[in-house]
Amino acid sequence: MITATSNHINLLKDLRVKSKAYFELVKFRLSFLVAFSSGFGYVLGTRGGVDWQVLAMLCLGGFLVSGAAIIINQIIEKDLDAVMVRTQERPLPTRKVSTRESMILSLMLGVIGLAILHQFTNPLTTFLSFVSMILYSFVYTPLKRVGPIAVFVGAIPGALPPLLGWVAVTGTVDAYALILFGIQFIWQFPHFWAIAWVSDDDYRRAGFKLLPGAGRKDLKTAFQIMTYTLFLIPLGLLPAKFGLTGINSAIVATICGVLFLAQTFKLIGNCMPGNEAESRKSALRIMFGSFLYLPIVQIAYLLDKI
């Protein structure tokens, strides 16, 4: 009796450990943001009432496809993750989950996610979701060790979710869909480069080359981060200009864009030799600023639309 109870407790512990590992494997927060951005694009694209079932299934399908792509990324990079401090505790390097289990989980999530999108949206949304998964998993991932072109390629699947939401409603990729895509596409560059600046030592261990130009943490890189962030200010006004939203969200987008841009000026000012600690702090602020900018602006657009 005692042995049976002990076995039952151990089984529950193993189940909890495995469930937590699967949760970490799909990177819940990142997959949730993909789902949210898809839902954001869907709501902006509606002309009448929102079909809540379609919206829920779109977000669920987007979440699952995103999770599948993220798992494939980790399978490919499992040996590289093991040498980087920021990733060495992930499920695959620590062997909490095997490569075979990860492949099965990724296949299941991808197939189920695409099936849900096919059932509740339209063929174009499903096709673009599949293309996004392929680009992220099998093009962006290996390019990270080739050069900064990886950031451009990775920005495409990273910016597709709001476009997918729009296409799920309209069935077409029109100028409005491209506006939503463009905002999130340009946002990717300061976001990626700030992370690459902060994690440069780790990335070098793995052979990742994500910083632009010569790949150095210097004034040229800081200026490029500033330039792309500057583009977000006029881009943020386009939804109001074309009647997708109103003036209130345009004001919010402008304020957020200016505050985001101000952080890049600090990075430029700190790019002096021997000032690496301060420049890293500035890059860290840009990174956190990028995390705040996108959801705040998207929520402002949604509230203005509603």
116 or 304, which is more confident?
116
Name the pLDDT band for 270 (thresholds 50, 70, 90): confident
Mean local confidence (pLDDT), 78-95 = 91
Q: How far is CA 135 from the centre of its chain?
A: 13
Closest alpha carbon to 169 in 49, 297, 296, 294: 49
CATH number attached to the domain at 8-171:
1.10.357.140
Domain ranges of the chain: 8-171, 174-306
Mean local confidence (pLDDT), 26-40 = 93
| pLDDT(273) > 80 | no
Give the per-residue pLDDT at 5.
56
Tracing tokens 């950031």 back to the chain, one arrives at 151
CA 157/CA 142 separation, integer angstroms: 15
- Which of the 8 DSSP states describes residue 210? -
Q: What is the pLDDT of residues 40-86, one digit of tens each?
A: 999 999 987 889 999 999 999 999 999 999 999 999 999 999 999 88
